[in-house]
Structure 1
């Protein structure tokens, strides 16, 4: 086990010999209705279904040593509280999402994911192997994030993972393979990570798979806390053309990186996630291109490091950060 402090790359890490460098994940786009996220290089709006407010957050990836952006999105439907909620506050009140950004209870002092021992199976190329791996990882993410959401008295709904892609989900028509490697739908609280797409981008690189799923789960945490709906309320255009909207999207995406790394800090060095594997997963957040919707490569990594080193949700408050720190 490597207990040394991670040496963070100033630029993208060179590809490791066991896998072909694929991309990275992260970015957004949204429409006019209530939501959750992942988006693209070309900011496109995915149709809102019924009363849905769609938030699209794209994934930035690096493929074959040539940086490129691959969209993935997370879409959250307001009021679609499917799943099982856990716990409640000490005052007995039921958990409730709070549509606030910097003032969200989840970002209060002393809140962080809890420790969890992730017992992950072997990572293989067969769809059923990927499904088993992701299910175990999401179970670990839920176990780790539950105490943070319960302390904030916000709901924790179960997340499912699909390694196949249907034409439509609770969030509407699915993106194409050229537009996403994975996305989260808040309407059915599902992370869609099609096996072919994920393997094409990540191969059997565990750090890349873990970083991607942890980021997607970060969008789920944003949905449950009410952060996504609060951000959506501030959007001024359905296609994020304005500079103000792009800034909002960057703050969402950078926070999802930070949340993903918070989880990695909580579980590093136990179970199947060694400290060296956690370090590699955090470093993977710095592989993407500069993006007007995801932030610069430096900031994508710096916000992940803020979560990994700070170990508390308050360090992931991208909403209070100066514009220069979320550019």
Structure 2
């Protein structure tokens, strides 16, 4: 299937767009000789506690430094459906001129005890690249493929939600697997888990409903989608919102298999997770996953099937209700509502990975 073109203009409600700065990402040349990066073993020691969020992405190195992050705003889901959505374009100005970006984001050598593996132990085939903004994932005009996704009808009960998300996973893979292949990066399928109750266990640790609504654990490459975390009473029968949750989770899986996740965690650890620099790195990481989520909707909308105008409108509206400003007393580690929605819309309307390169934009584009 071909790379999906940017979707046509959507009939989005005419509401004032948020005020966010313009930025100008550039698609970079893919390097002639692929850098393989390091094969890293990860385990968890959690030192960063996030009290609100959608996604908890947990990982640590052999030296057991913390790599726990979560999206804010999702546990304080607004009860009103009114949310500002730009009417004609994304909030960011872009260009498609191909240039070579600057050197990769530096990582701290002290933050990892890993060393390159021997050729006999290194898996064959494409390898993850331990870089953020210069990762080959962002090279050239690379976007999600067109795919037709036919989903069961959303019903707000645990078994129906499980069937809905299970049917969505192949749709996500059909679009993202070719993206990674074109970038000469590895791909493997994630698992899905549907824990019950309000406290959920994973190899990354124990997560409570007050800390996260859903999460991706890189230790077992699993998307955890607990029904009790989905806020079905507040959201109601709006499947576009639930698909946005899963598409964001899958965006973290893309970051994990490409090498972006480990590189970003190393940078955050070196800067200090609770410092202004560390929080900014975490915002870049989370807003990128939101942008990747929007890209999936672009391919699925072009393929028709279940992803119609109504579903896309629900997704776009939903993005502008999420953000750090839903919890003024919490850490500024995931971005404002304006940026959360704008980066998701950026992915949807542009559908190119370089347009989601949040590591290559000014700080005021990820505030």
**TM-score, scaled relative to structure 2:** 0.68
Alignment pair present for 1:277 and 2:311? yes
Cα distance, 1:178–1:314 mapped onto 2, change above 3 Å: same
Contact residue 287 and residue 343 of structure 2 kept, 8 A: yes
Number of aligned residue pairs = 281
Alignment pair present for 1:7 and 2:39? no
State the 1:170 CA deviation. 1.9
Alignment pair present for 1:64 and 2:79? yes
Match of 1:139 in 2: 170
Cα distance, 1:322–1:121 mapped onto 2, change above 3 Å: same
Match of 1:24 in 2: none
Contact residue 181 and residue 201 of structure 1 kept, 8 A: no
Alignment pair present for 1:113 and 2:123? no
Q: Residues 251-306 of structure 1, C-alpha deviation per residue, up to 9 Å, x if partnerless?
A: 01110110000111111151111133123212311112444211122111221121
Contact residue 34 and residue 55 of structure 1 kept, 8 A: no
Match of 1:196 in 2: 228
> Using the alignment, how far apart are the partners of 1:239 and 1:65 within structure 2?
36
Q: Secondary structure at the match of 1:180?
A: coil
Alignment pair present for 1:168 and 2:168? no
Cα distance, 1:289–1:177 mapped onto 2, change above 3 Å: same
Match of 2:353 in 1: 313
> Using the alignment, how far apart are the partners of 2:249 and 2:57 within structure 1?
18
Cα distance, 1:244–1:162 mapped onto 2, change above 3 Å: same
Map of 1:1-327 to 2, 5 A cutoff?
4-7=9-12, 9-10=15-16, 40-41=50-51, 51=62, 54-61=67-74, 62-65=77-80, 94-165=125-196, 167-173=200-206, 175-198=207-230, 199-200=232-233, 202-236=235-269, 240-269=273-302, 270-291=304-325, 292-327=332-367
Q: Secondary structure at the match of 2:178?
A: helix
Contact residue 52 and residue 71 of structure 2 kept, 8 A: no
Quick check: 107-116 or 55-64, which moved more? Answer: 55-64
> Using the alignment, how far apart are the partners of 1:297 and 1:196 within structure 2?
23
> Using the alignment, how far apart are the partners of 1:6 and 1:66 within structure 2?
17
> Using the alignment, how far apart are the partners of 1:177 and 1:212 within structure 2?
15
Q: Secondary structure at the match of 1:191?
A: strand
> Using the alignment, how far apart are the partners of 2:157 and 2:52 within structure 1?
31
State the 1:4 CA deviation. 4.7
Q: Residues 25-75 of structure 1, C-alpha deviation per residue, up to 9 Å, x if partnerless?
A: xxxxxxxx668x9983569x99867846533222422232499xxxxxxxx
Cα distance, 1:315–1:39 mapped onto 2, change above 3 Å: farther
Q: Residues 163-210 of structure 1, C-alpha deviation per residue, up to 9 Å, x if partnerless?
A: 22475312122x111111111111111111111221345333201101
Structure 2 residues not aligned, in runs of 5+:
1-6, 19-41, 83-112, 115-123, 326-331
Q: Secondary structure at the match of 2:208?
A: coil
Cα distance, 1:158–1:59 mapped onto 2, change above 3 Å: farther
Contact residue 148 and residue 171 of structure 2 kept, 8 A: yes
**TM-score, scaled relative to structure 1:** 0.76
Please tell me the root mean square deviation across aligned C-alpha atoms, in Å: 3.3
Contact residue 58 and residue 219 of structure 2 kept, 8 A: no
> Using the alignment, how far apart are the partners of 1:42 and 1:163 within structure 2?
20
Cα distance, 1:137–1:59 mapped onto 2, change above 3 Å: farther
Cα distance, 1:314–1:3 mapped onto 2, change above 3 Å: closer
Structure 1 residues not aligned, in runs of 5+:
13-32, 68-77, 80-92
> Using the alignment, how far apart are the partners of 1:140 and 1:312 within structure 2?
18
